[in-house]
Amino acid sequence: MNFGYQYARCALVTIGLTLCGNSLVIGAEQADVLKRIAAVERGLRTPITFNPDPKEGMTLADRMLEHGVPGVSIAVINEGRIEWAKAYGVTDAETGMPVSTDTLFQAASISKPVAAIAALKLKDAGLLTLDGSVNGKLKTWQIPDNDYTERNNVTLRHLLSHGGGLTISGFAGYAVGEDVPATVEILNGEAPANSGPVRVSALPGGQWSYSGGGYTVLQLLMEDATGKDFPQLMHEQVIMPLGMQASTYKQPLPQMLTPIAASGHLPDGSVVPGKYHTHPEMAAAGLWTTPSDLARVAIGVQQSVSNSSNTLLSKKTTKAMLTLQQGGYGLGFGLAGEGSTLSFSHGGSNVGFRCMFIAFAETGQGAVVMTNSDSGGALHREIMPSIASVYNWPGFQQEIKTPLKIDAASLADFAGRYQFSSLEGMIAEVTVDGDGLTIEMAGAMPSTLHYPESDARFFSLSGNEVEFIRGESGDVEHVMVRGSYRGTKLRE
């Protein structure tokens, strides 16, 4: 089937429109909501812009075509409720099945903060402790001791905030037909696991390092503490209490749910072989859900903050969850701002899926965007600023920057290959691209052009930032990506 024709035919199909939760509002209020939806759909913008911005007011339909994203589903929270949810495009480029608001997407790493909520509920129930050694609660496997663990124990706080010094940042999942490992096999890096062993490679509590491996330890910890398998535990602790009607951590996805699941798509627009990967690393990447169900998570946290409902967590525990630990993270969520501008968020990136969750702790606002494409990250980074503008999110304005002009000889100093020890040795290739640079990392999105902001700092309109660090000799020795990931230049 011709993908271009099928996409053009179905890109504007929208079904399952929901206003104000499960019931339609009437009269002027309905008209206002419809106006806001239309404004979001025609107001896409990049997080960073030049002044003037030639791309101001981009439409959702055009940007889906530009980025090659087959399907998108959105839920918007306003005044502490789901004001609207709407779906666009197709679940599968080959079948042309329209996306609905009930279509399941892989939440990818947004699985982590949802799992963190359940872990904190177990802490409140006395089954886990926040600052005791997790090895004291683990029964079926132990974090191997080494020089780092001799100096400091790995704790639940460390696991939730990526401060445990644990390896394995992310997981590729398992294609259809591949053997799927058990949790202990994943942790030991034993066949059929396709990832290395999860080990402590830095002092626990000493530095921040994003670790899906740490959340796989959390998965086993929660099972050992309760004697229940992880999907059942998550259903009881979070999914059922919040009324998440279409969510599951079961892996592989149960056969009865496959008809309503979106297929993942690769950057070239093709469907992921087998439609999607299985993720036995459930706490780290295994949640299947909808934007509306994730919005219910956000609302549950907001209600716990205001103490209007403690279905999810106590106000005290929620405050701890939304207290900054390391690397811009609290206990599960990424955090930004404070007071009325405090937001909690998380992104997700599995093969064929990209998504974003953001909500404000005090204002009752937020949104979830889920896509079924490796190219969806660029799209949700344009949708969110549009929602933020229409709903006047606090402290969430489009940033205006003016790129500098750097001569080609100076740009050439930054070109080369950089190795990231915190990302299992991932190599990034930096090349000169016109007046700026392109940085390309294996398994990540296609190359992104970065514009000079200073003689060592570059940015992209999608919000990525790269800074180069020179040594005493004046030569470029390191690169910092998004202020968190440090790469060392390889001398070749």
3-class SS of residue 278: strand
Q: State pLDDT tens for residues 30-76.
A: 899 999 999 999 999 988 887 655 556 799 999 999 999 999 999 99
Question: Is CATH 3.40.718.10 the right assignment for the domain spanning 106-390?
Answer: no
Q: What percent of the chain has pLDDT over 70?
A: 90
What is the layout of strands, in order, in the sheet containing 71-78?
Answer: 18-19, 81-89, 71-78, 366-371, 353-360, 343-350, 334-336
Sheet strands (E) in 372-421: 399-400, 416-420
Our measurement of the distance from residue 272's CA atom to the centroid of its chain's CA atoms, rounded to an integer in Å, reads 19
What is the band of 311 on the pLDDT scale with cuts at 50, 70, 90? confident
Confidence band, pLDDT 50/70/90 cuts, at residue 247: very high
| Amino acid at site 272 | V
Q: Confidence band (pLDDT; 50, 70, 90) for 273?
A: very high
Instruction: Provide the mean pLDDT of the chain.
Output: 89
Residues recorded for the chain: 492
pLDDT in tens, 196-236: 999 999 999 998 989 999 999 999 999 999 999 999 999 99
Beta bridge mates, 71? 89
The three-class DSSP label of residue 404 is: coil
pTM for the full predicted model? 0.88
Domain 408-489, CATH: 2.40.128
| Contact yes or no for 203/193 (Cβ under 8 A) | no
Instruction: Give percent above pLDDT 90 in the chain.
Output: 69
Domains 106-390 and 408-489 fall in the same CATH topology: no
Q: What string of DSSP letters covers 321-384?
A: HTS--BTTB-SSSEEE--GGG-EEEEEEEETTEEEEEEEETTT--EEEEEESSTTHHHHHHHHH
Average pLDDT of the segment spanning 250-260: 97
User: What is the domain partition of the chain in residue ranges?
Assistant: 106-390, 408-489
